[in-house]
């Protein structure tokens, strides 16, 4: 169910009406949200519902051990009951084929129960907590590993074996990637680490915890929420105000515009040019990479805005995920503006766990590089994503080596105050350099294989023919966005629609609505990040 399609609007209309009616009954409202979230997730493929339900239940029954506490039997039973219910819903519709999976789920439930009961018997609470977190993290990473990376490693194994004349094609299984798996597993891992660190109390309500994990607006493509931010919003009554409804709807509208009008119209340009990178002119290659830069921004930030808008209409506030990333002046700034929920997750749970900048300078560089490398791999099982992560790790290290953040940035900021013209010029140079580096990164990200990367780079540096048919189309769809973003940057008003004077807002809304009606492609397309 895509946000920009009729089924979602119908779904949301029913959910919203029921949610409104239950305003004074928090528990029932949360139950409704959980049910709606599972319906939303099961809409793609009901069989995968068991993954999110099982992951949630496992984390739920593991939580007391992670906190170094004893497991209440009620909590164990609630977790097992949730998994069983999820498995029955997932597999009963196709029982002829699903009974094997049902049995496997029951087996895993038995294993999980055995593990948590064994942990429960450990006397040393510190050791129990450490072991429980390790088991929980590994189990959740295995979940991603099986569904997301198995094909990649199996295919690589087949290829390597093929070089030596071996045939191991039997190892490939063509496992389908469940939508959103990387997002909700990371959200659960973050929660477990927070509980282990004592930053968040362990959950004792299966309903609240499951609602937090599965909350439908952010379930399939983020933002990857923190328990400290979202969990508490399920515990107290949400305030549904006219102001929240209006600003949520406006945020949704803006997000939908970015996705449907910008991203979906640029996608054919990107697909065409990346599909013939070996024969395209330099101008076409440039158009292709620029189109992708705006496509992925429109696609992903559009999704986030729609998610945040839907949540806000229901009285929730999701975290900011994008903050004008293409105005970044350094790589470190870029990662505080692009996919903020992932980059801060990686910083808090990976970079710091690796040692952060507490060790030697060399270790800091290693940690930075490794964090970005793994961040790249998080996006998908492909060498191009690894290269993209490595590239961002590399430029982070280079900028840190040059000490740009501490030496150059204060001067530039100072110029903005004392001599705005020079400050603006310096900022423009820094932003342009960073944007060019970002484009190079997007090349690695978007290229279907390393051969395309080679063709693209060779084509970009070997010619000066800047002609391309798609320049006009690129400008047509990106100029309104660029203008709005310049305005947002200048006024520092991210939610420019809600913050505009009424007449300006009316015109902007009309522009967005007419654009959606008349400039959007006929077919709705998936969000890029659904594949991650």
Partner 1 sequence: MAATLAETGGHDRGQSPRPLWLRLLIITAIFGYALLFGEMFLRMLKPQALIPRYVTAGPEGVRANMPDTVFRQWTPEVDVTLRYNAAGMRDDRPPPPLEKAPGECRIALLGDSYFVGFESRFEDSFAVRLEEELARRGRPCRVLNFAVSGFGHAEMLATLESRVRPWAPDLMLASVHSTDGFDNLRAGLFRPGPQGLEPTGQTFLPGVAISDRLNGFAAYRWAQENSHLYSAGREWAGGMGKQLLSILRVQQANADAGDEPEAAPDAEDNGTETPRYVASQPLNAALIRQLARESEATGARLMLFEIPIAGRRTGYYPIAENLLGAELLAQVPFASPAPAFNAMKAPDVQLYTEKGHKHWTPLGNRVAARVAADAMFAQQLLPAPQSIDASVGSPSSTLPASS
Q: Which residues make up the interface to partner 1 (CB under 8 A)?
A: 20, 23-24, 239-245, 476, 506-507, 510-511, 514-515, 518-519
Shortest reach from residue 238's CB to partner 1, in Å: 9
- We find the least distance from the C-beta atom of residue 394 to partner 1, in angstroms, to be 42
Neighbour-count burial of 131, counting CB atoms closer than 10 A to its CB (0-12 exposed, 13-18 middle, 19+ buried): middle
* Residue 368 near residue 397, CB atoms below 8 Å: yes
Residue with smaller CB distance to partner 1, 371 or 515: 515
Q: What is the nearest approach in angstroms of partner 1 to the Cβ of residue 438?
A: 29
Active site annotation includes 339:
no
Minimum distance from residue 511 beta carbon to partner 1 (Å):
7
Kindly name the residue from 339, 379, 392, 455 that is annotated as catalytic.
Answer: 379
Nearest residue to 67 (alpha-carbon basis) of 137, 128, 135:
128
How far is residue 241's CA from residue 313's CA, in Å, rounded to a whole number?
Answer: 8
**Cα(111)–Cα(134) distance, rounded to whole angstroms?**
16
Q: What is the DSSP letter of 171?
A: G
Which residues 6+ apart lie within 8 Å of 103 measured at CB? none
Cβ–Cβ < 8 Å for 58, 136:
yes
| Sign of the torsion formed by the C-alpha atoms of 233, 235, 236 and 242 | positive
CB count within 10 Å of CB 451 equals 11
What's the closest the beta carbon of residue 216 comes to partner 1, in angstroms? 20
In angstroms, what is the minimal distance from the CB of 47 to partner 1?
A: 26
| Residue 129 · residue 63 · CB < 8 Å | no
In the complex with partner 1, which residue's Cβ is closer, 180 or 244?
Answer: 244
Sort 195 into a burial class: Cβ within 10 Å, 0-12 / 13-18 / 19+: buried
91 and 50 Cβ atoms separated by less than 8 Å = yes
Q: Which is nearer to partner 1, 24 or 407 (CB)?
A: 24
Least distance to partner 1, CB of residue 248, Å: 12
63 vs 455: CA distance, rounded Å: 50
Cβ at position 242, least distance to partner 1 in Å: 5
CA-nearest of 303, 278, 277, 299 to 288 is: 277
**Who contacts 75 (Cβ-Cβ below 8 Å, separation ≥6)?**
60, 61, 63, 64, 204, 206
Measured from the Cβ of residue 370, the count of other Cβ atoms closer than 10 Å reads 16
Rounded CA separation 349/341 (Å)? 12
Please, which residue, 241 or 360, has the CB nearer to partner 1? 241
User: d(Cα 68, Cα 64) in Å, to the nearest integer?
Assistant: 6
Quote helix, strand, coil % in the chain, to nearest 5.
75, 0, 25
Nearer to partner 1, 94 or 243 (CB): 243
Give the nearer residue to partner 1 in terms of CB position, either 85 or 519: 519
Which residue, 489 or 505, is less far from partner 1 as judged by CB? 505
CB of 14 or CB of 20, closer to partner 1: 20
Q: Give me the active site residues, please.
A: 379
């Amino acid at each position: 169910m895509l946000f920009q399609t009729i089924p979602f609007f119908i779904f949301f209309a029913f959910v919203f009406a029921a949610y409104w009616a239950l305003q004074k009954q928090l528990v029932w409202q949360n139950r409704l949200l959980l049910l709606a979230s599972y319906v939303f997730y099961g809409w793609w493929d009901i069989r995968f519902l068991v993954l999110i339900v099982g992951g949630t239940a496992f984390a739920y029954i593991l939580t007391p051990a992670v906190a170094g506490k004893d497991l209440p039997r009620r909590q164990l039973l609630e977790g097992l009951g949730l998994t069983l219910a999820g498995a029955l819903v997932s597999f009963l519709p196709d029982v002829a084929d699903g009974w094997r999976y049902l049995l496997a789920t029951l087996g895993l439930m038995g294993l999980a129960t055995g593990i948590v009961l064994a942990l429960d018997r450990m006397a040393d609470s510190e050791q129990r907590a450490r072991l429980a977190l390790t088991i929980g993290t590994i189990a959740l990473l295995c979940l991603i590993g099986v569904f997301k990376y198995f094909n990649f490693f199996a295919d690589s194994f087949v290829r390597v074996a093929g070089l030596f004349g071996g045939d191991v094609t039997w190892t490939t299984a063509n496992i389908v990637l469940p939508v959103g798996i990387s997002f909700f597993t990371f959200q659960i891992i973050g929660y477990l680490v927070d509980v282990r660190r004592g930053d968040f109390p362990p959950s004792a309500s299966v309903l609240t915890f499951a609602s937090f994990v599965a909350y439908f607006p952010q379930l399939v493509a983020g933002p990857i929420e923190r328990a400290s931010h979202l969990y508490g919003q399920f515990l107290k009554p949400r305030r549904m105000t006219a102001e929240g409804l209006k600003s949520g709807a406006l945020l949704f509208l803006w997000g939908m515009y970015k996705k449907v009008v910008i991203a979906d119209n640029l996608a054919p340009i990107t697909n065409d040019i990346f599909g013939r990178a070996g024969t395209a002119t330099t101008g076409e290659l440039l158009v292709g990479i620029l189109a992708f830069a705006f496509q992925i921004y429109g696609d992903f930030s559009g999704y986030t805005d729609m998610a945040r808008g839907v949540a806000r209409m229901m009285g929730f506030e999701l975290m900011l995920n994008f903050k004008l990333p293409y105005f970044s002046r350094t790589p470190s700034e870029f990662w505080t503006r692009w996919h903020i929920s992932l980059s801060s997750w990686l910083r808090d749970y990976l970079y710091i766990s690796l040692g952060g900048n507490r060790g030697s300078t060399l270790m800091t560089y290693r940690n930075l590089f490794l964090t970005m490398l793994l961040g790249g791999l998080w996006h998908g099982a492909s060498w191009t994503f690894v290269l993209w992560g490595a590239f961002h790790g590399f430029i982070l290290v280079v900028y840190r080596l040059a000490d740009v953040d501490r030496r150059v940035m204060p001067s530039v900021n100072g110029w903005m105050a004392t001599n705005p013209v020079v400050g603006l010029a310096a900022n423009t140079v820094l932003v342009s350099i960073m944007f060019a580096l970002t484009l190079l990164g997007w090349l690695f990200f978007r290229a279907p294989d390393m051969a395309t990367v080679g063709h693209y780079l060779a084509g970009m540096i070997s010619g000066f023919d800047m002609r391309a048919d798609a320049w006009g189309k690129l400008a047509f769809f990106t100029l309104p966005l660029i203008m709005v973003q310049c305005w947002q940057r200048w006024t520092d008003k991210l939610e420019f629609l809600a913050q505009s004077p009424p007449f300006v807002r009316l015109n902007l809304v009309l522009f967005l609505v007419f654009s959606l009606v008349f400039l959007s492609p006929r077919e709705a397309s998936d969000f890029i990040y659904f594949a991650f």
